[in-house]
Every structure is written in structure tokens, then in C-alpha cells.
């Protein structure tokens, strides 16, 4: 991409001017191309100063989920090597699923600033207001059986929780199977979808929605955002959606590779460290019935094991589980 080439020359010469002539040489483009692509970059939100005798200087970079920003210094080999960004979509998962069906390769990431029909589990919707959220879907092609799909969900929860902890003071936790919580409030949701045969998965679309820089009034009941949680703590921090997206991709790749080489056990261990559920009393809603139990463990398939009031251990693979206070 020509505009990425030009952009990267300016990035490498941050805080100084690059003459038009130099820029042509370094990016390997014509003077006319410079003009054209400079306009395109400005439209994308890059603030580029141009002075007659000095040349061009990159003054400010937008916090936009665009390929040039996500791919800049991204430390991954597969995740995010191909990025497609939208201002507004129905659902990034729908787009990713269609692309996966057409054979788009593992690690491809779909990003959007706004979702009109953001999807949650079981056909629920995921509130996805414009600007301030990260709405991303990632195409994976793991060599697993359909009954191992929970592994991807749990792995993703671990990656997102760790990324948020890395870049903020928020000590988020995981609620089984896939909600990232700040105390009792939900900060992030994960929706895993797959196409599969009876004994092998064709592809997985991993959808992640994170409430980053959103005011609480834009969010549904029970939800929160990183901005809101930092405000509660009296902290004033500039939140970069770009940096968080990159960190999530890096963590996803790290844990995905860990699972490939070491199996699922190390992921479960990290999951347990980040979970506050194990050892707590929970209310389980399963096939229309609701019962209380003690969250006992996560089994090797990623299912929640609870101890019921009669003392029996029961495996929960689906259904809703909430912690009882």
C-alpha cells in the first residue's frame, strides 16, 4: 500500500520534516503520488504539516482502528497480518464468517468503529455504539474437533483480560465462560462461531467486543467501560483503542501458539488465575431450570464443573451461570 509506505517514512522521521524529494526517494514514489496519498492520509485522520521549504512532518496520529495503525509495529506473525476496517457494519462476525467461507486465511481481522447489529451469544445483541468501542472478529483455522471449541473461547478470554491488565490499572477478571468483568459489571464479551463437520472444525470466527472509551449512558444495564471504571477510581488516563487492539492480537497469538505446542492445560491454569468464579456460589440456568451450586473447577474441555447441593459434581458445557452474592 502506497499510503502506508509514505506514512512509515514520516513515522521513522518523527519530529522532523522530510522534504518532498526525500519522501519520493525513500517511499519510491512519484511527486504526484505523494500529493494524492497525503490527502488520503489526512482524510483518515493523520495530521500532517506541510511547509514550503521544509517538507512534511507527521504531527498527530489518529486513534483509529485502520490497517495502517493496527499493523504498525505489531509483534505478531499471523494475527492481524491482514486487517480489514469498516466505519460501520451490521456485525464484524457476519463479515468474517463470509470471508472465512471464501477461504480467507487464519489471522485475518475485521474491525469496525460501530456495529448496527452487534451479536452476542444465543442471538442476543451486543451494544456497539460509534467510537469508543473495539469491535473485532478474527478468523482462526485450528485443528480441533467441534467439542474442543470451548478452548478457543477460554483462550480468547484469557488473552483479552491479560491485554487489558497490561495496558491499564484495571484488574479485570473472567466470568465463565467468556465475559470480562470489572467487579460485577461486564466490560467485554466474546462470541465464538464455527463451521464444522462432525469431527473437525473448518474455521472459527472469534468475535470480541470491548467497551473502551464509552460513556456509561451509552451502555446497557450491567455493562461498563474502561473509561467509566477509570473515572470511578479518579484516574485520568488516555485510552488508546489502537494499542489495546494490538495487544489483544499479540496475546491471542501468544496463547494460541502456547496451546498448539503445550496443549490446553497452561491456558486453563491462567484462566483459573484470572477467574473469580471458582470456589464461589453460582446460580446455573440450564434447559429452563435454575439451581444453585458451588463452582468447583474447569475440566480439560473448558466445561465448568459445579458441586450441586446434593454433593454431586456436574459438568456445565452450556447455559448461563451467574455468581451469587
Q: Which chain residues interact with a second copy by CB under 8 A?
A: 121-122, 145-147, 149-150, 152-153, 177-178, 191-200, 202, 301, 317-319
User: For strand 304-308 and strand 289-298, is the pairing parallel, antiparallel, or unpaired?
Assistant: antiparallel
Cβ closest to a second copy, residue 196 vs residue 258: 196
Q: What's the CA gap between 136 and 92, in Å, rounded?
A: 6
Q: How far is the CB of 197 from a second copy (least distance, A)?
A: 6
Q: What's the CA gap between 208 and 188, in Å, rounded?
A: 7
Cβ closest to a second copy, residue 121 vs residue 246: 121
Cβ closest to a second copy, residue 147 vs residue 308: 147
Q: How far is the CB of 153 from a second copy (least distance, A)?
A: 5
Q: How far is the CB of 176 from a second copy (least distance, A)?
A: 11
Number of Cβ atoms within 10 Å of the Cβ of 15: 7
Cβ closest to a second copy, residue 12 vs residue 283: 283
User: CA angle, corner 94, sides to 91 and 99, nearest 5?
Assistant: 130
Cβ closest to a second copy, residue 6 vs residue 267: 267
* Of the candidates 143, 126, 141, the residue with the CA atom closest to the CA atom of residue 180: 126
Q: Which residue has the cell 464484524?
A: 92
Q: At what angle do helices 241-262 and 149-167 cross, to 10 degrees?
A: 140
DSSP-assigned letters across all residues of 11-26 = HHTTTS-B-HHHHHHH
Cβ closest to a second copy, residue 119 vs residue 241: 119
Q: How far is the CB of 300 from a second copy (least distance, A)?
A: 12
Contact 107, 82 (CB under 8 A): yes
Q: How far is the CB of 38 from a second copy (least distance, A)?
A: 43
Contact 4, 42 (CB under 8 A): no
Q: How far is the CB of 36 from a second copy (least distance, A)?
A: 40
Q: Kindly give, in sequence order, each residue whose CB lies less than 8 Å from that of residue 60, ignoring residues fewer than 6 positions away.
A: 46, 47
Amino acid at each position: 500500500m502506497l499510503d502506508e509506505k509514505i506514512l512509515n517514512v514520516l513515522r521513522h522521521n518523527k519530529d522532523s520534516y522530510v522534504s518532498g524529494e526525500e519522501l519520493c526517494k525513500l517511499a519510491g514514489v512519484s511527486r504526484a503520488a505523494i500529493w494524492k496519498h497525503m490527502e488520503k492520509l489526512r482524510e483518515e485522520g493523520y495530521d500532517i504539516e506541510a511547509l514550503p521549504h521544509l517538507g512534511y512532518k507527521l504531527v498527530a496520529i489518529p486513534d483509529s482502528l485502520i490497517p495502517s495503525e493496527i499493523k504498525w509495529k505489531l509483534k505478531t506473525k499471523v494475527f492481524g497480518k491482514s486487517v480489514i476496517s469498516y466505519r460501520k457494519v451490521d456485525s464484524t462476525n457476519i463479515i468474517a464468517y463470509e470471508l472465512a467461507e471464501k477461504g480467507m486465511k487464519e489471522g485475518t481481522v475485521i474491525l469496525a468503529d460501530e456495529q448496527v447489529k452487534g451479536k452476542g451469544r444465543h442471538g442476543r445483541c451486543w451494544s456497539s455504539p460509534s467510537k469508543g468501542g473495539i469491535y473485532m472478529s478474527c478468523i482462526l483455522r485450528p485443528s480441533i474437533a467441534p467439542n474442543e471449541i470451548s478452548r478457543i473461547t477460554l483462550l480468547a478470554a484469557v488473552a483479552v483480560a491479560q491485554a487489558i491488565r497490561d495496558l491499564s490499572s484495571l484488574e479485570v477478571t473472567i466470568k465463565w465462560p467468556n465475559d470480562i468483568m470489572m467487579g460485577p459489571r461486564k466490560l467485554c464479551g466474546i462470541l465464538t462461531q464455527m463451521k464444522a463437520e462432525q469431527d473437525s472444525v473448518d474455521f472459527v470466527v472469534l468475535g470480541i467486543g470491548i467497551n473502551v472509551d464509552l460513556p456509561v449512558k451509552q451502555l446497557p444495564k450491567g455493562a461498563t467501560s474502561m473509561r467509566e471504571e477509570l473515572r470511578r477510581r479518579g484516574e485520568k488516563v488516555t485510552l488508546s483503542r489502537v494499542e489495546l487492539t494490538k495487544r489483544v492480537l499479540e496475546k491471542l497469538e501468544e496463547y494460541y501458539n502456547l496451546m498448539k505446542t503445550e496443549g490446553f492445560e497452561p491456558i486453563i491454569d491462567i484462566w483459573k488465575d484470572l477467574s473469580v468464579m471458582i470456589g464461589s456460589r453460582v446460580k446455573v440456568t440450564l434447559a429452563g431450570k435454575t439451581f444453585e451450586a458451588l463452582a468447583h473447577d474447569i475440566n480439560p474441555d473448558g466445561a465448568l464443573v459445579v458441586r450441586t447441593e446434593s454433593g454431586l459434581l456436574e459438568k456445565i458445557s452450556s447455559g448461563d451461570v451467574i455468581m451469587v452474592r
